[in-house]
Amino acid sequence: MYEDRSNKRTGKIVTFILILIIGTGAFFLGTVYGSLNSEEIIDNGTPVVGDSSFDKLYEVRDVINSQYYQDIDQDALVEGAIKGMVNSVGDPYTVFFNAEEYKEFNDDGDGNYVGIGVIVGIKEDRIVVITPFEGSPAFEAGLRSGDFITKVEGVEYTGTELDKAVSVIKGEEGKPVTLTIVRNGEEQDITIVRASITIVNVESEMLEGDIAHVTMLQFSNNTAEQVREAMEELRDQGAKGYILDLRGNPGGFLDEAVDVASLFVEKDKTILYTLDKYDQKKEYRSYGGSFIDAPLVVLIDGGSASASEVVSGALKDYEAATLIGQQSFGKGIVQMVYQVGDGEAVKVTVSSYYSPDGINIHGEGIAPDIEVEIPEDAEMPLTMENDTQLQKAVEVLREKMQ
């Protein structure tokens, strides 16, 4: 029996691409999400505030406070200084959250949002659409995976300005926002009305009698348990082969990814390991599951990122599944969230992660075993009749099941 360890964990590791279910909050995955305090931050030998190198900061503060012609909001001054310091690192995944942003970050893990329902990341210093959720305002307005968002409400934003762009895209339910996108070299404006969005993370169905199709939209709270339950139910219905569909799945909590991979990997085998700047290695091992010998195909595409790549990479290395589709996104770094101040936090890239064979896919992605493209003129949403990747998955499973 697959053990449920959800009550034994003290924190959540989120391994995501810079993910934004754009709404009232920003969903940043790729993060070790825990409850850590400032003392733990200091232990690694990093200089703390109070070092003489920060004297200039205090001098500037004193000049502004004494000379600026109006009163200064001290909280805003401190927050601006902190955000400037964090942004100067030059890593879009390293971010400071004020109290409101941190609450939104935590709330976003539950699958309920107010926004346009699209996941975005950074590619070539541009904001790129990873996937719009089917049926969301973004999807209905015509936003598609691979679109580059160059402007929000007429203002240009680069990839490193993702936070700023998102702060403009955020808004109230029922209010419109206009995005300027580039698709196939052509620029166009798309106006999208924000709405309340509820995401069902796991969907399942039987295909052709004895083939199970399980789709994961993201790795949020308890999705691994939902996947296990779905697969067991389909097995009880006569499933003999399984398709795990990770297309458009941007990632999520790392422990959920380890749990999903464990369904198909023998106990104690490495699912992934991480290395930090001090060459400290941490391994994540399989808990063992009840589908280790089951015929399995995994569907991936350019929207499969981070936690999806953890699962795909482990299953590929162990030859536990055949990967079908297109090259995955390529996010192979991990972040940790440290609580600071009063209900605030800073998210910092802390390590790179590697597949069991020692492969880091950051910036590269995972190549499928069998590459299959979706025709450009395919009608959305995809069905069995026009989903060429799903059709190939069924074909390959039939051969595996013989």
HSE of 202 in the Cβ direction (CA atoms, 13 Å)? 19
Give residue 196's Cα distance to chain centre: 20
pLDDT at 109: 52
pLDDT at 100: 86
Domain extents for the chain? 200-271+282-329+355-401
Spell out the residues 6+ positions from residue 68 whose beta carbon is closer than 8 angstroms to its own: none
User: Per the structure block, which two tokens stand in for 162?
Assistant: 């993702």
The helices-and-strands tally (H runs, E runs) of the chain is 10, 22
For residue range 228-278, what is the model confidence (pLDDT) as tens digits? 999 999 999 999 999 999 998 888 888 999 999 999 999 999 999 999 999
Largest pairwise CA distance in the chain? 81
pLDDT at 107: 64
The closest of 29, 5, 3 to 219, measured between CA atoms, is: 29
**Interstrand relation of 333-340 and 344-354 (parallel, antiparallel or unpaired):** antiparallel
pTM of this structure: 0.77
pLDDT at 51: 62
Instruction: Identify the segments of the chain with pLDDT beneath 50.
Output: 1-47, 49
pLDDT at 367: 97
Where do the DSSP E strands lie in 202-315?
202-207, 211-216, 241-245, 251-253, 270-276, 281-285, 296-300
pLDDT at 85: 93
> Active-site residues: which are they?
306, 317, 331
Q: What is the mean pLDDT of the chain?
A: 84
Task: Provide CATH code, domain 200-271+282-329+355-401.
Answer: 3.90.226.10
pLDDT at 112: 62
